[in-house]
Structure formats: structure tokens, C-alpha cells
Chains A and B, each alone.
Chain A
């Protein structure tokens, strides 16, 4: 294991982030490979590949290369795996979305190209602004996050429109996606402020006197979400709340109470809401109404069955027969084109991302960092499980996007911002202590030597 000296100059950081660079370059190469094969199907159908077809890929390339450079320039010390992992998953998202005809040459419109660079920019802003412990400034405005969350929900309720049984925001963007970040921040900040009192239970009774403001906000949020019939989001946020409380207070009572209450509420909801009931029925037996309610999931499964073990290959299958392929069912498109083997690879990438997020959460230096990162990890884990499980019929279909892969601006931006937050947390201790160690004089020589050794080890590590 390499003991690293303290990096000083930009050059040191260039060296420090070499592993990230290497992984990122590999990821970009893989993306290029995939994109090339995607384009390769065009001429077969008698269509020449136009230069515009390359534009989305070039934007993608530029975005992630500059992201890495910016992290180096900002002397960022945080995690080196998240950026390349994000790049790879985004590449898969780009390819899958291109397959669903999102970037058809005629429809090359900025609104469809902008979410990716915008999201990465947001991630960098969060990461760089919050590095060195400054992310904890978020705890100073606890009630701002609650206010924003409630306001968002109220706005959507007031102006939203109903589509496919749920309420969507103006113009089909879903502002409620943002809740996944603002509520994480609110909950983590609130628990951080009342950590001691919240950890002190009177035998089996939770400390309700300190808990009630949190519960009140959450009641309001969940109530408004239920009015919008967004059961999937309720589930994601509910699990997140429990995870944050349990990880922060280390009291198992929250998990126990939460699971019991959540289970009871879930059962009650399903028996009360025809919307949810229908989904459960369709989930249990899609063949009872194959051309109606069961159509989506069955078409997705048909595509996957057609793909078999190896898939038809990039651009060889016909994912357009899958309904809502570009967002909710994009996993089915991937599984159709690259087969079961391809979906195993994709799931492994997701597993790596989620495990990394959990690791960073579990190793955070401050309770707030711990809770915020746990919240983000919980949201993304539940979202991934619900989406993949829904498409494969292992779980009921909940109309939830697949993080980083599905098309959907607000979803993408929220995910990137959340990842930025975790990156900031992974940067660790405040800058002050860093300065202290830098001032120490005769460490320079040794530092360089150690740095070289670490670089060598990095190389051998790679070779192995």
C-alpha cells in the first residue's frame, strides 16, 4: 500500500489523479467502440452516416475530458473511481438513447444534447464547491431544503398534468426528481443538528419531542406525493429516510419501526389505491390482460427473450417495439441488443457504482457527510433495483428511471448533482489541516520519492 506524500502543485495533482485518468480514458475508448458499432448499422440500411451523428459523442467526450482536467485544476483529492464510472454508465446511456432514436439527425436539438454536459457541470460545481469539508455549509440552511422540497411539490400539484396515471410537471418535466437531493440534504442536516437527542431512546419509545419537525415535513411530502400517485418515489424516499436515520443515530429502532410502519402503510396503500392495485395485479399475472395493462412489461420481456444470451448486437435489434423504451424500459433495450451477457455487465457496473457510494458513505469523516452520502446511495440503490426489477418483472413496474441511463433531464441532473455531493464528501477533512501539513519544511524530498513509488505501484497494480 502506497503512503502518499502531500501533493502541492498542479503537477502533483496531475500525478495523483493518474488512476482516474487511466480508467477514464479506457471508459472513453469503450464508449467510442460502442458508438462506432452503433453508427455502423446505418449504411447497411442505405443511410450514410452524417457528421451530425457524431455530435452527441463529441459533446460527451469533451464533457468528461474537461471534467477530469477541472478536478485536477481544482486540486481535488476525492474519490477517483466515481468519475470514470459515471462516464462509462453515461456512455451506455448515450448509446442506448441513440438506439431509441433520440439523436436522429433530423431531430438533433439542443434540448436533448444539453442535459449531459449540464449535469456533469453541476456535479463538478457540487464537488469543487463542497470540497475540503465545505459541504457542511449545507447544514446551516436546513429549513431551506425543507422549504424548497415542499414548494416544489406544491407547485407540481398546482400546475401539474396527469399522464399515465401520475402527475407530471409542466411540459412533462418532473421537478419532483429534485426531491431526491433536497430531502437528502434536509434529513441529513436535521438529524445532524439533533443527533444526540435523536439517538437517545426511552426504552422502546423514539424521542418524539425532537423528532416531530422531521416527521411533520415528511408527512406533508409523502401526503403530497401520494396525491400525485407517485408510489415509486414514495418508496425511494421512504427507504432513504430510514437509511439516513439508522446510519446517523446508529439506533436500530428506527429501522424496526420504519419497516413495520412502512409495511403496514404499503399494504394499506395498495388496498386503497386502484392505481397501485392494478400494477400489483399486472405484476403477478401480466397475461390476464396481455394487450392492455400487461403490454409494456411483456413487450420488454419479449425483446429480452429475442435478444437471448448474446443479443443481436448494436443496432441490430428492434427496440422501437418496446414501449417507453427511452426512459423506463431502457434496460430492456440494452438487454435486447447485447443479450443477457450485456445486462450482466451493466448490472456489474451499477453494483460497482452503488458499492462505491456506500463505501464512501461508510468512510465519511463527519456525521453529516455520512448521512448525506448514505442518503444518496440509498436513493440510487432503490431506484436502480426498482427499475431493473420492474423491467424484468421481478418487482411491479413503478415508472421509475434508471439512473444515468434513462432519458430524462431532471432525473439526470439530480443524479449528477447527488454524485457531486458524494464527491465533495469524499474529499474529506477541511483545507486548514491540509495547509498545516504543507507548511512542514523538510518533507518535500521524501514526498517526491514516495510519490514516485506510488506511481510505480499504480503501474504494477494495473499490470496485475
Chain B
């Protein structure tokens, strides 16, 4: 026994062990060979000739075993191609030597090559580092052994893990890693459509805005759906994930991606959709807008314009907007006009518009094989046929309708892109996809003029900047939680839009004074960078 122990403790044992393993495998192979030879040596002459069914049955058995082994290989050797499996092992497998823990995930870069996420080696284990901290917390997400994957990290997981076998070279690399039992698999780098500078500026602007420093910004290219900014504030630091974050105890809900999942009353920005509906249905008329407001029944409080309340506060009298056409009403953001317009259109028209604009849906980004990021479209609860007041309220973006900032950016992008909404994209090397046609090209063209008017002569005139040619719609959305949410949705330049955006500041107050300037600053910065 002591001899044995001495052998096991001696330094060459490791080498001997490897040799013994080889010998073990070879001996088994040799044994199998010998056993096959035995057929001829011991022919079992005293038994009967084999029945005819032997060969097919043996063939069937052999095929089943080979099939099972083949399937086993897809897990044991090709496991990296199963992102859920890798994610499971990364979060639930305690074997230190499991290569899943050692995968050097590829880097995630912004469109200019700035590193948004990379893997570094620390104490022998791969560690994911996010240089921008909470700025990209929602867009890029996280890849954590305990908490799993989210955002782009989840969407592009196979490529980041190096398991997309697109070329012969990829197959060769997989073969090399298998043969050498490599514990350092390396993934592919990935370029996103995001822009680190703009994203950072957006996050800073929201955080320092009036209100409680919460909100979201989405900036995208209308022509191909590329998302340049997807900011949600507050964020969280993906470098230091804590279990408390996932318990959801924080009232600021930092885990919530406000850009794609935060449902807010849209307020006046919803009038853009109502205007599109009216144009599509051939509305070219004018409506009278009494200062006293409009209601569907004397039981309900009349819907009034905000100028009415302003005048009331300062003790002045206000004559009302009088007779307006659609363009002016949109520029002045007249509640009375749009409430009437909505009721005039009727329930069925709004339902139809909702179908065309993909209301109540979850819209997938252009994704990878392992799933994708989604954004929620506007939510419109069904309004009963009798409830005309609800219809009037929905028409001005209050009541039963809510929406996410990303969806409003998508609507603005559709207007900018001749009515066609492109499916949003986060990965540079994905092909642009058409999501759907929201409105006719003619309607889109008319709306572009109207929204430009809203900035030159309407509620957005405070941000009119030479050279930018911003077109957009402000929104000041009342909500039961406190001060109104501040919205600004639009695109620029109006004549040939290159960028579409939506800005939301929670409880920021007026859209024209809080959200609109943030959009202007971002567009200025984008223009500086040549977008």
C-alpha cells in the first residue's frame, strides 16, 4: 500500500496517469477487436443456424445506439450552440472545470467601436465588465452566472459565446477546442447600432431634468430601424448586480426598461396617431372649439384646452381657439378639437387604427437565433360602444390609452419613412426588416408638414433651432401619481428625416419646456457628430 501511495504522490504520476488513460482506452479498443475475432475461433457449431431476423434486428439496434450517440454529441460536444443550455450551466453548474464558466465572451461595441461590454480574466475566471456602468444597463443588459442574461447579451448570446458556426474556420476552431479540451473558448465581437456618446448625453439629460430625474429616450434611424439611443433612467450597475435589485423593492424600479416596457399615458403625443387616422379617413374639415370645452354628456366634466386653465389661474378671460383645421389644431395641441375628432371618427375607426398601428402587441426587435428584445406597443383597453366620453379621452391620450417611449419613436419613424415602420434593430450586422405600413405615404407627407408647423408655430416653438429643422409633437400627460409626464416625439430634419426620437420625462411637467429641449440638445449633438 505504501508503495502505491508513494507512486500516487510522486511528481511523474500526473504524466503516468495520462499515459494510463491512453492505455485504458486503447486496451478497451483492443479488447473489442479481440472479441470480434472470437466469432471465428469459437463458431458455436453446436447451435442452429441463425434465424433470418437476426440481421435486421441487429441493424435496428445499432442504428438506435448510433442515433443516441449522435444526439449526445450535440450536447456534449456542440453544447455551445444551445444558448439556454450554456445559460443554465453558467448559472446552475458548480463544476469549476466546466468550460461554460470560462467562455471569453466576445466584446460588445457601439457603432464607433467604443467598448460597451467585455470579458476580462480575474483570478482565473472570466469576468464581464461594462465600462459605461448603468448607462447601457437596459440596452446591453448583463450576462451574469447568477442572474442570467438580458438585453443584447441575451439576444446575441450564441455569437458572443462563439457558437455560431458560420464558416469553415468556425468549425475548425470548435474542433480544435474539443480535441485539446480547451478551457478558454473565445466568442465573437459584436457591433451594435448604439452610440455611446449620444446615449450618455441622453442619460445625463434625463437624470438632471426637472421632475424626479426619471425617464427614457429613444433615438432611431427611420430608414432602417437602427436604434442609436435606448436610454432608461434610473439604471443599475451591471458590474455589481445585487439580489436586492431583482426583488423589486426599490420604488424607483431601476430594473424596468422604461424605454420599451414603461407604459405611460401619452397625452397630446397621441394626437399624432389621431391626426393620421383622420387624414387616412379623408377628414379635411374644420371644427369649432368653444373655450368652455367639449363633453359627450352633461354628466361628465368638459374636456378643455390648457389655455383655459392658464387664463383661469391668472384671472383672465379666454375666448377659445374658435374654428380650427387639423394642422392648426395639432400645432396648438387643442384638446377640444381632438376630443371631437375622436368621437366623430367613432369607436370602429379607432379600433381599426389600433390594428394598423399594432396596438396591444409586443414588437420584437430584429433578433438573433436566441431570442430578442421586445418593445410594447401602445395599450388601448377596449372602449364600450356606449362610452363616448372614454373615446373622447382616448383621443387626447388620456384615460384608457398608455404607450411606451420606444413605441412613440417607432410611430415618429414611420411618419418620417413615408408611413412604413421599420422593425427596430440593435445589432449592426442584421438586415433591416419592414415591420408594417402604419399609414399611406400621402398621410405621412401631410403629417410631416403638420409636425413641422407644430415646432415653427405651435407648442414646440421654444426649441426651434436653425439648421436642425425639427418636427415634433409635445405632450403633457396627466397622471394620478403626480405632476404631468413630459413628452416630445418627432423627427429631424423635417424635409428628409434622418433621425426619429421620443423623449419622456416622468413628472417633468410641460412637454414643451422639459422634454423638447432634451430632444433638441440630443439632435444638436448628433448633428455635431454628423448623423
User: Which chain A residues have a beta carbon within 8 Å of chain B's beta carbons?
Assistant: 1-4, 19, 22-23, 26-27, 29-30, 33-34, 36-37, 39-40, 42-44, 48-51, 77, 79-81, 84-85, 88, 247, 287, 290-291, 298-299, 301-310, 312-314, 317-318, 321, 335, 338-345, 347-352, 354-355, 358-360, 362-365, 370, 381, 385, 388-389, 392-394, 426, 428-429, 454, 457-458, 461-462, 464
* Residues in chain B near residue A298, CB distance under 8 A: 85, 88, 92
Pairwise interchain contact B65-A301, C-beta atoms closer than 8 A: no
Pairwise interchain contact A352-B93, C-beta atoms closer than 8 A: no
Q: Which of B57-96 contact A (CB under 8 A)?
A: 57-58, 61-62, 64-65, 67-69, 71-73, 75-77, 79, 84-85, 88-89, 92-96
Pairwise interchain contact B31-A27, C-beta atoms closer than 8 A: yes
Q: Which of A26, A44, A392, A429 has the most CB of B within 10 A?
A: A392
Pairwise interchain contact B57-A358, C-beta atoms closer than 8 A: yes
Pairwise interchain contact A34-B71, C-beta atoms closer than 8 A: no
Nearest chain A CB to B370 CB, angstrom units: 12
Q: Which of A39, A370, A461 has the most CB of B within 10 A?
A: A461
Given A81-B35, A313-B17, A362 and B54 contact (CB-CB distance below 8 Å): yes
Nearest chain A CB to B40 CB, angstrom units: 6
Q: B41 interface residue, CB < 8 Å from A?
A: yes
- Contact flags B25-63 to A (C-beta < 8 A → 1, else 0): 101111110111110111111111111011001100110
Pairwise interchain contact A347-B97, C-beta atoms closer than 8 A: no
Q: Which of B8, B18, B69 has the most CB of A within 10 A?
A: B8
Q: Which of A42, A50, A308 has the most CB of B within 10 A?
A: A308
Nearest to B54 among chain A residues (CB) is: A362
Pairwise interchain contact B46-A40, C-beta atoms closer than 8 A: no
Given A301-B85, A305-B89, A385-B68, A43 and B98 contact (CB-CB distance below 8 Å): no
Nearest chain B CB to A265 CB, angstrom units: 21
Nearest chain A CB to B497 CB, angstrom units: 42
CA distance A360 to B49 in the complex (A): 10
Given A309-B178, A462-B34, A302 and B88 contact (CB-CB distance below 8 Å): yes
Pairwise interchain contact B50-A287, C-beta atoms closer than 8 A: no
Nearest chain A CB to B16 CB, angstrom units: 8
CA distance A37 to B181 in the complex (A): 20
Nearest to B78 among chain A residues (CB) is: A305
Pairwise interchain contact A321-B42, C-beta atoms closer than 8 A: no
* Residues in chain A near residue B32, CB distance under 8 A: 345, 348-349, 352
Pairwise interchain contact A37-B93, C-beta atoms closer than 8 A: no
Q: B21 interface residue, CB < 8 Å from A?
A: yes
Nearest to A428 among chain B residues (CB) is: B46
Pairwise interchain contact A312-B62, C-beta atoms closer than 8 A: no
CA distance A80 to B40 in the complex (A): 12
Pairwise interchain contact B76-A307, C-beta atoms closer than 8 A: yes
Nearest to A427 among chain B residues (CB) is: B46
Q: B179 interface residue, CB < 8 Å from A?
A: yes
Q: B23 interface residue, CB < 8 Å from A?
A: yes
**10 closest A-B pairs by CB:** A362-B54, A306-B98, A43-B8, A392-B72, A305-B79, A428-B46, A363-B47, A394-B71, A362-B50, A302-B93
CA distance A349 to B32 in the complex (A): 7
CA distance A291 to B146 in the complex (A): 13
Pairwise interchain contact A457-B68, C-beta atoms closer than 8 A: no
CA distance A360 to B47 in the complex (A): 8
Q: B4 interface residue, CB < 8 Å from A?
A: yes
Nearest to B46 among chain A residues (CB) is: A428
Nearest to B13 among chain A residues (CB) is: A40
* Residues in chain A near residue B77, CB distance under 8 A: 308-309, 340
Nearest chain A CB to B100 CB, angstrom units: 7
Q: Which of A43, A302, A385, A454 has the most CB of B within 10 A?
A: A302
Pairwise interchain contact A81-B31, C-beta atoms closer than 8 A: no
Q: B20 interface residue, CB < 8 Å from A?
A: yes
Pairwise interchain contact A385-B64, C-beta atoms closer than 8 A: yes
Pairwise interchain contact A340-B76, C-beta atoms closer than 8 A: yes
* Residues in chain B near residue A312, CB distance under 8 A: 97
Q: B1 interface residue, CB < 8 Å from A?
A: yes
Q: B298 interface residue, CB < 8 Å from A?
A: no
Pairwise interchain contact B34-A23, C-beta atoms closer than 8 A: yes
* Residues in chain B near residue A317, CB distance under 8 A: 95, 97
* Residues in chain B near residue A84, CB distance under 8 A: 35
Pairwise interchain contact A49-B5, C-beta atoms closer than 8 A: yes
Q: B309 interface residue, CB < 8 Å from A?
A: no
Nearest to A378 among chain B residues (CB) is: B57
CA distance A345 to B43 in the complex (A): 25
Nearest chain B CB to A292 CB, angstrom units: 12
Nearest to A434 among chain B residues (CB) is: B46
Pairwise interchain contact A393-B75, C-beta atoms closer than 8 A: yes
Pairwise interchain contact B25-A345, C-beta atoms closer than 8 A: yes
Q: B9 interface residue, CB < 8 Å from A?
A: yes
Q: Which of A3, A26, A299 contacts B93 (CB 8 A)?
A: A299
* Residues in chain B near residue A304, CB distance under 8 A: 72, 75-76
Q: B24 interface residue, CB < 8 Å from A?
A: yes
Nearest chain B CB to A388 CB, angstrom units: 6
Q: B145 interface residue, CB < 8 Å from A?
A: no
CA distance A298 to B75 in the complex (A): 10
Pairwise interchain contact A351-B88, C-beta atoms closer than 8 A: no
Q: Which of A299, A394, A426 contacts B68 (CB 8 A)?
A: A394
Given A1-B43, A33-B23, A349-B32, A290 and B38 contact (CB-CB distance below 8 Å): no
Nearest chain A CB to B181 CB, angstrom units: 5
CA distance A252 to B71 in the complex (A): 31
Q: B99 interface residue, CB < 8 Å from A?
A: yes
Nearest chain A CB to B516 CB, angstrom units: 45
Pairwise interchain contact A26-B76, C-beta atoms closer than 8 A: no
CA distance A298 to B27 in the complex (A): 32
Nearest chain B CB to A149 CB, angstrom units: 26
CA distance A36 to B3 in the complex (A): 13
Pairwise interchain contact A343-B31, C-beta atoms closer than 8 A: no
* Residues in chain A near residue B17, CB distance under 8 A: 37, 40, 313-314
Q: Which of A51, A314, A364, A365 contacts B21 (CB 8 A)?
A: A314
- Contact flags B208-223 to A (C-beta < 8 A → 1, else 0): 0000000000000000
* Residues in chain A near residue B21, CB distance under 8 A: 37, 313-314
Given A303-B95, A305-B85, A345 and B34 contact (CB-CB distance below 8 Å): no
Pairwise interchain contact B98-A302, C-beta atoms closer than 8 A: yes
